[in-house]
Chain A
Amino acid sequence: SIEKTRGVAPSLLSKYQVTSDSASWTCLDGSKTIPWSSVNDDYCDCPDGSDEPGTSACPNSVFYCRNEGHIGSLIPSTRVGDGLCEPECCDGSDERPGVCPNICKEVGEAYREQEEKDRKIRQFGSKVRASYIAYAQKEKKRLEGQITNSKAEIAVREQEVARLKDLVDRTESLSAAALEHKKLSPLYTTLTEHAHALKSLQREHKKHLEREKALGDILDALRRGYNPNYQDMAVLEAVRGWEALAGLPHINDVAKDDGEAAPNAEEASDAVVEQETLEEGMWTAEQLENDLDRLLKSDYETLLIEHEKHIGASSASTTLLKDRFVSLLETFGIARGTASSESADTSRARKAFTDAEDALKNVQQERDKAQEELTRLFDPEWFGPEGEWKKLQNACLSKDTGEYTYEVCLFGEAKQKPNMGGSTQNLGKFSSWNNAPGVTPGTPEYYSRQSYTRGAKCWNGPQRSVNLIMSCGVDNVLLSVAEPEKCEYQFTVTSPALCLPLEETREGKKDEL
């Protein structure tokens, strides 16, 4: 019969010490008392399985392998006596004597060797990590300095803006009345109406262009990615139709001769791009694209004033006003005494004001950005409590898998670039560290994963996303890329940022115990 303490973990050994065979024994959960002879008799008596620590009789219990020369381990009882030598039981105690050799010496040695290797990696990695932390400290100083500087500059610029604002208000109040009158001219109202109409048209046009591009992208994705399993003639027709319209070659075609595909494609594109003749004076698409914005940015008020000059119908009152206006500008040093284009003075004042305002906004934004960076620097949900990840912000790692090169820029974006040409797919932007339930920010487990989400949408599928699995390594490397589910990628990455100093982990272990 089997030894009564077979498979008992050291911490429980004291509960399996009974001297006489006729004694009774109580299941560890206290639910039942059985004869001592029933312990390890290969029959499950206790509901908690505690009477069979050394056999497979109770389905949900565990078996302890002592593994002398290595480290003891617990295996599920379902693996006891199944004829297989468990790697976790190097002493072979999980099987009947003679079935599995004791290989704990070799296993222990190999384990220690591996541990030493891991330790070295960790040691080296943690040094790199320390440099990342030092970098974060530098960044902290830099950002704090930047914020201080910005604050000073903001104060100066705020004063300048106030001064110019005052100037604009005064010039504009002078000319405003006259200008308002002129603006009532039918020419001006028609002109502004045309401008509005044109702007609206431009906006609509842009919307359509974007829409067309989006549709094109969808159809491109469909064309490249459609799944022949759907055996769907409607999809096939859509693809073929798109190819004809966009002048693309047939994809996945029953190509009898691959060489034919390319010239066909050229022919097709030639056929589509037919030049139409334009009426004289009409803008080409290129002009519309390049010059319309400039036209729409024309300053109509300046134009109005110049127009008057052009037709030579200036009234006394406007002359008067103008004179006063020019002298005012001269006073403030904005216009020279002999103003060559005095009509533009108002707008010039305004421009000076808005420029100053813009400059102020820029500085404010810089300050805000620096402020945000500073906050994120030691935020556990961003660059870690020690800022150890800051150094890797936008570090781009890539992996060539043959068909594609995958790239992830940490805290930025993940991409899939086809090696044989074609458009790059956005696989998602950084959205969070490990957000699995029960994972606390700041723990090593938290930094073992990153999510990149909301990438380009898959045809007939979700938006692409990346699950980045990270572990300690001496370099920042993208090791592997897989797509376990459609459009959900899994990247594995090593980084020294995850190599905690050895002392820390030891302490951590103690805490756990």
Chain B
Amino acid sequence: VKSQDFKTCSQSAFCRRGRALADRAELSTSWVSPYSVTPSSISISPQQASFTAAVKSSLYPDINFGLDVRVHKDGVVRVRMDEVGGLRKRYDEAASWALVAEPDISQDIKWTVSASDVRAVYGDRKEIEVVVSFEPLKVALYRDGIEQVVLNGRGLLHMEHFRAKAAVAEDAPPAADDAQVVMQTNPRAWFEGEEEDGYWEEKFNTWTDSKPKGPESLSVDITFPNHGHVYGIPQHATRLSLPTTRGADAHYSDPYRLYNADVFEYLADSPMSLYGSIPVMHAHSAQSTVAVFHAVASDTWIDVARPAPGATETHWVSESGILDLFIMPGPTPDAVFGQYARLTGTPALPAQWALAYHQCRWNYISSDDVRDVQRRFDEADMPVDVFWLDIEYAEEHKYFIWDKKTFPDPVDMTHDVEAIGRKMVVIVDPHLKRADNYPVYKEARDRGVLVKSSGGENDFEGWCWSGSSAWMDFFNPGSWEWWKTLFQTQPRGDGWTWTESTVDTYIWNDMNEPSIFNGPEISMPRDSIHYGGWEHRDLHNINGMLLPNLTSQGLMARTNPPKRPFVLTRSFYAGSQRFGAMWTGDNLGTWEHMAVGVRMVLVNNIGGFSFAGSDVGGFFGNPDPEMLVRWYGVGVFSPFFRAHAHIDTKRREPYLLDEPYKSIVRSMLRLRYSMLPVWYTAFREASVTGVPVLRPHYVAFPRDEAGFALDDQYFLGSSGLLVKPVTEKGVTETAVYLADDEVYYDYFTHHAYRGASAGGKYVTVPAGLEEIPLFVRGGSIVPTRERPRRSSPLMKYDPFTLRVALSTGGTARGELYLDDGETFAHEEGQLVWREFSARTDGSARVVRIGSRDLAARKPAEAVDGVALAQYDGANVYARTIADVRVERVVVLGLAARPTSVRAGGDELQWEYSSGTAADDKTQGTASVLVIKDPGVGVAADWEIVVEA
């Protein structure tokens, strides 16, 4: 990392001021917040869900602040505070970009105003109470009388109001006889400090940030008095349970920073900001889960301290913007996920092929190179769905414009890829080469939709791949419709469209932090001007989200009916999950990066953005075969699964590996493809409920303290699959944590491991290079498709295998969701959503395994945002797969050899190998019943009866 390119807190004036404020508060014995609510100003709205109030700071009695508190239908409390009637307006649009819709407000809130506070009690059991204290201003959320979240409990709230620059010459030498002036102490110094530290200008390296608006930072402390773990605030290369940044034993010396940045060769263990920011933080304890989301888009630093083992203090300091805080009351991880999803949206249900394997490199250098890579994958019989083109396809890095020397026939090339059911992804970045022969730049310039430099007069000019470049200002509504039309594959009026692309060409948006090679912190000067006159500093962290947002809309508009878009983004913000996938940027080919990549993807899942992955193989460097194989093991269990490599690396497509590595990777790729139904089903659930696709232990077992910090093993959706990817060199076995008193079957060997009857337990499992520690928790039914194909669309009519992993109680359950995988017909009910179950009849002599329609039972929960009025089990899609059968049912953990296995009265063919039963106390290979071709359709109702 080039750490000198990026600020530390002490190099950032407002962060310095924020930390100094916290220091003074800590040292003071009589600290009290200067902010208070004026009781007489309280105005409760007619529908009672919200109230507004005036807030004053004792430091500046002439300045007015306004407070707005409201409670949403699902109990989320939104607290907003802004300066009222100030010299200027603070940026207040962050939430409008992040929120999926204006939240519904509660219908049954009653605010009670007393002399010292205003409060409301709500919830099913009236268990939640929110209290806004007047003097000093404090907001606290209680559940069952226990404090959950406290704002300004430590008195660090500070909204620097707009002011005129004092006319004092800053560098006037103090006169020698001015002793009495020195004596005149600043009455606000106890709170604000003696000096105006970096109020009006700030230098960093060779850059000077003119600060025409002066100081406008926002500091707020958020305390979780009864939660020992906090998670979230992606993106940082760190652990899932956030280590401390303040206090005697602080793990990091700098706060966590949220300031989207292109960090070259980033550190594998650091609170430094990275490419994206989601300002949502979960706080967790065995009793409760709560969360806060701060809709602020400026540079933000967050300190985390643990004053006592079961409590967490955080301090958020932002450069600009209003206070717009959403408090999610929980009480469980799943409830918090739902509350956050109702605010910013759930992850979009991706096209199914997008969950398959993606092959990328900087760069496949020609049409023939792409064809050759495809040919070699097929020769090696390794499945792959998507080939990617990095920036070198574009002539002089003018995105969309093919370099005809190397890509003379882009549409033919793409059709050759599509002929095997595959797709192409091509990169389009937001910097436009300033060249008059580049229609995209020309049209953007002529429409006036480019970012302006400081002062707002001229188009901003900076340096990126394409040399001297301009940047799209997607905050400008004038850019929206125009940008979407670029992706049309047919000519369109006078405007330029990408006629040299196909409707199966999808897009990768990179460098959208934005990355600017000659800019401060490799990004845009903060005093650059966006639409509406906002400074770049106000909206920096949102900037990256708008490109994939509009690009995905552009892709949808290409066809009628629309296809699901696919857009990969490097930069992101709260709400980005609605538009596509992200990856963890330019990682290094090291074991540390492999390991932290797993954690970063988990954190992103916590942050609502499930469709995440890290570059398999590591972007930089040449991984040895062992490392590459392990990295595939990580990728196979990442929601987004893409291999990528830097231009200076050796080629490392998996078919280039020698044996045995090549066959190991082939098996891993095939494993991923066999599990696509599991992934797709998990994504359906995430798209409806917001509960993430990857679930760390604390999500699956919220009461098991021993699992709260676990971030190297996780569950895949609700499937019951538990995986621990190996991310260390030379490993032959590893310890896997089992949280509960249940049987866990090794997915491959059927070895049965058992958790402890009380509390968790580690078991040692084999983890040689060819082995991925993967387990099916007893009680799960896992649907897979085990016929290898070259690409996932070719599996459309392939039969299913069901793995029935009996629990110690003799039951199991699983789900399968299917639709056409690429259109929006599922929103009209063109889908199949099944529930599989197994139960053991009282005598334990009979196990019944069945399938029933779940969509018909829960039509309102099948599809995100759409309540299917009436669901038809025999819908058009379901009929297309009427012949798709279950070819095999594997039952693990039966107590005894069956005497008969029947479906619909017919005796079936089956094989049984005896072994440990689900409810045995012993470890060892489980009994396995393999039922051959039971003659049942995967989309049909059926029952298989196993009698012993």
Binding site for B on A (CB under 8 A): 41-43, 45, 56-57, 59, 76, 78-79, 81-84, 227-232, 252, 254-255, 401-403, 460-461, 482-486
Within the complex, the shortest CB–CB distance from A438 to chain B, in Å, comes to: 12
A59, A252, A403, A483: which contacts B787 (Cβ < 8 A)?
A59
On whether the beta carbons of B381 and A484 are closer than 8 Å, the reply is: no
On whether the beta carbons of A482 and B522 are closer than 8 Å, the reply is: no
On whether the beta carbons of B366 and A83 are closer than 8 Å, the reply is: no
Question: What residues on B are CB-neighbors of A486 within 8 Å?
Answer: 647-648
On whether the beta carbons of A83 and B650 are closer than 8 Å, the reply is: no
On whether the beta carbons of A254 and B461 are closer than 8 Å, the reply is: yes
A78, A401, A484: which contacts B790 (Cβ < 8 A)?
A78
On whether the beta carbons of B796 and A42 are closer than 8 Å, the reply is: no
In chain A, what residue has the closest Cβ to B263? A231
Q: Given A83-B794, A482-B369, verify A78-B648 contact (CB < 8 Å).
A: no
Given A59-B786, A84-B419, A228-B465, output 9 extra A-B contacts at Cβ < 8 Å.
Answer: A41-B933, A43-B887, A43-B932, A78-B788, A78-B790, A82-B789, A84-B421, A254-B461, A486-B648
Within the complex, the shortest CB–CB distance from A48 to chain B, in Å, comes to: 16
On whether the beta carbons of B647 and A76 are closer than 8 Å, the reply is: no
In chain B, what residue has the closest Cβ to A402? B405
On whether the beta carbons of B933 and A43 are closer than 8 Å, the reply is: yes
On whether the beta carbons of A231 and B517 are closer than 8 Å, the reply is: yes
On whether the beta carbons of A59 and B365 are closer than 8 Å, the reply is: no
Question: What residues on B are CB-neighbors of A484 within 8 Å?
Answer: 365, 369, 651
B463, B651, B788: which contacts A228 (Cβ < 8 A)?
B463
In chain A, what residue has the closest Cβ to B465? A228
Question: What residues on B are CB-neighbors of A59 within 8 Å?
Answer: 670, 786-788
| Interface membership of B125, Cβ < 8 A | no
Within the complex, the shortest CB–CB distance from B274 to chain A, in Å, comes to: 15
Q: Given A43-B887, A83-B797, A252-B467, verify A231-B932 contact (CB < 8 Å).
A: no
On whether the beta carbons of B522 and A483 are closer than 8 Å, the reply is: no
What is the predominant secondary structure among interface residues of chain A facing chain B?
loop
Question: What residues on A are CB-neighbors of B670 within 8 Å?
Answer: 59
A76 to B2, CA, bound (A): 50
Within the complex, the shortest CB–CB distance from B796 to chain A, in Å, comes to: 7
Question: What residues on B are CB-neighbors of A461 within 8 Å?
Answer: 648
B641-675 Cβ-contact flags toward A at 8 Å (1 or 0): 00000011111000000000000000000100000
B365, B465, B649: which contacts A482 (Cβ < 8 A)?
B365
What is the predominant secondary structure among interface residues of chain B facing chain A?
loop
Question: What residues on B are CB-neighbors of A230 within 8 Å?
Answer: 264
Q: Given A83-B794, A83-B796, A228-B517, verify A254-B887 contact (CB < 8 Å).
A: no
A252 to B463, CA, bound (A): 10
Question: What residues on A are CB-neighbors of B365 within 8 Å?
Answer: 482-484
On whether the beta carbons of A254 and B517 are closer than 8 Å, the reply is: no
Within the complex, the shortest CB–CB distance from B572 to chain A, in Å, comes to: 21
Q: List 28 A-B contacts (CB under 8 A).
A: A42-B933, A43-B932, A43-B933, A56-B787, A56-B798, A57-B787, A59-B788, A76-B381, A78-B787, A82-B790, A82-B795, A83-B794, A84-B420, A84-B421, A227-B648, A228-B464, A229-B647, A231-B5, A231-B522, A254-B461, A254-B463, A401-B405, A482-B365, A482-B368, A482-B369, A483-B365, A484-B651, A485-B649
Question: What residues on B are CB-neighbors of A76 within 8 Å?
Answer: 381
On whether the beta carbons of A485 and B787 are closer than 8 Å, the reply is: no
Question: What residues on B are CB-neighbors of A255 within 8 Å?
Answer: 468
| Interface membership of B599, Cβ < 8 A | no
| Interface membership of B593, Cβ < 8 A | no
Question: What residues on A are CB-neighbors of B799 within 8 Å?
Answer: 42
Question: What residues on A are CB-neighbors of B887 within 8 Å?
Answer: 42-43, 57
**7 closest pairs, A vs B, by CB?**
A82-B794, A254-B468, A78-B788, A231-B517, A59-B788, A43-B933, A486-B648
Within the complex, the shortest CB–CB distance from A43 to chain B, in Å, comes to: 5
B461, B651, B786: which contacts A485 (Cβ < 8 A)?
B651
A255 to B433, CA, bound (A): 12
Interface of chain B residues 180 through 218 with chain A (CB within 8 A) = none
Question: What residues on B are CB-neighbors of A227 within 8 Å?
Answer: 647-648
| Interface membership of B888, Cβ < 8 A | yes
In chain B, what residue has the closest Cβ to A43? B933
On whether the beta carbons of A254 and B790 are closer than 8 Å, the reply is: no
Within the complex, the shortest CB–CB distance from A376 to chain B, in Å, comes to: 33
In chain B, what residue has the closest Cβ to A486? B648
Within the complex, the shortest CB–CB distance from B468 to chain A, in Å, comes to: 4
B794-822 Cβ-contact flags toward A at 8 Å (1 or 0): 11111100000000000000000000000
In chain A, what residue has the closest Cβ to B674? A59
In chain A, what residue has the closest Cβ to B397? A228
B860-894 Cβ-contact flags toward A at 8 Å (1 or 0): 00000000000000000000000000011000000
B508-532 Cβ-contact flags toward A at 8 Å (1 or 0): 0000000001000010000000000
B368, B405, B795, B888: which contacts A43 (Cβ < 8 A)?
B888
In chain A, what residue has the closest Cβ to B646? A229
In chain B, what residue has the closest Cβ to A483? B365
Question: What residues on A are CB-neighbors of B794 within 8 Å?
Answer: 82-84
A196 to B522, CA, bound (A): 57
A79 to B264, CA, bound (A): 43
Question: What residues on A are CB-neighbors of B465 within 8 Å?
Answer: 228-229
Within the complex, the shortest CB–CB distance from B864 to chain A, in Å, comes to: 29
Question: What residues on A are CB-neighbors of B368 within 8 Å?
Answer: 482
Interface of chain B residues 457 through 474 with chain A (CB within 8 A) = 461, 463-465, 467-468
Question: What residues on B are CB-neighbors of A402 within 8 Å?
Answer: 405
In chain B, what residue has the closest Cβ to A460? B648
Interface of chain B residues 927 through 945 with chain A (CB within 8 A) = 932-933
A254 to B649, CA, bound (A): 29
Within the complex, the shortest CB–CB distance from B760 to chain A, in Å, comes to: 37
Within the complex, the shortest CB–CB distance from B395 to chain A, in Å, comes to: 11
Question: What residues on B are CB-neighbors of A84 within 8 Å?
Answer: 419-421, 794
A52 to B670, CA, bound (A): 19
On whether the beta carbons of A482 and B467 are closer than 8 Å, the reply is: no
Within the complex, the shortest CB–CB distance from B229 to chain A, in Å, comes to: 36
Within the complex, the shortest CB–CB distance from B362 to chain A, in Å, comes to: 9
In chain A, what residue has the closest Cβ to B586? A229
A232 to B517, CA, bound (A): 8
Within the complex, the shortest CB–CB distance from A112 to chain B, in Å, comes to: 24
A252 to B465, CA, bound (A): 11
Question: What residues on B are CB-neighbors of A56 within 8 Å?
Answer: 787, 798
Question: What residues on B are CB-neighbors of A254 within 8 Å?
Answer: 461, 463, 467-468
Within the complex, the shortest CB–CB distance from B840 to chain A, in Å, comes to: 27
Question: What residues on B are CB-neighbors of A79 within 8 Å?
Answer: 790
In chain B, what residue has the closest Cβ to A487? B648
Question: What residues on B are CB-neighbors of A460 within 8 Å?
Answer: 648
Within the complex, the shortest CB–CB distance from A227 to chain B, in Å, comes to: 8
In chain B, what residue has the closest Cβ to A76? B381
A223 to B83, CA, bound (A): 52
Question: What residues on B are CB-neighbors of A83 within 8 Å?
Answer: 794, 796-797
A254 to B799, CA, bound (A): 59
A351 to B361, CA, bound (A): 66
In chain B, what residue has the closest Cβ to A437? B658
Question: What residues on B are CB-neighbors of A231 within 8 Å?
Answer: 2, 5, 262, 264, 517, 522
In chain A, what residue has the closest Cβ to B670? A59
A227 to B381, CA, bound (A): 36
Interface of chain B residues 747 through 806 with chain A (CB within 8 A) = 786-790, 794-799
A41, A78, A252: which contacts B789 (Cβ < 8 A)?
A78
A486 to B542, CA, bound (A): 36
In chain B, what residue has the closest Cβ to A232? B2
B476-495 Cβ-contact flags toward A at 8 Å (1 or 0): 00000000000000000000
Question: What residues on B are CB-neighbors of A82 within 8 Å?
Answer: 789-790, 794-795
In chain A, what residue has the closest Cβ to B419? A84
A383 to B647, CA, bound (A): 36
A81 to B649, CA, bound (A): 38
Within the complex, the shortest CB–CB distance from B922 to chain A, in Å, comes to: 28
Within the complex, the shortest CB–CB distance from B689 to chain A, in Å, comes to: 34
A403 to B395, CA, bound (A): 13
A82 to B383, CA, bound (A): 13
Question: What residues on B are CB-neighbors of A78 within 8 Å?
Answer: 381, 787-790
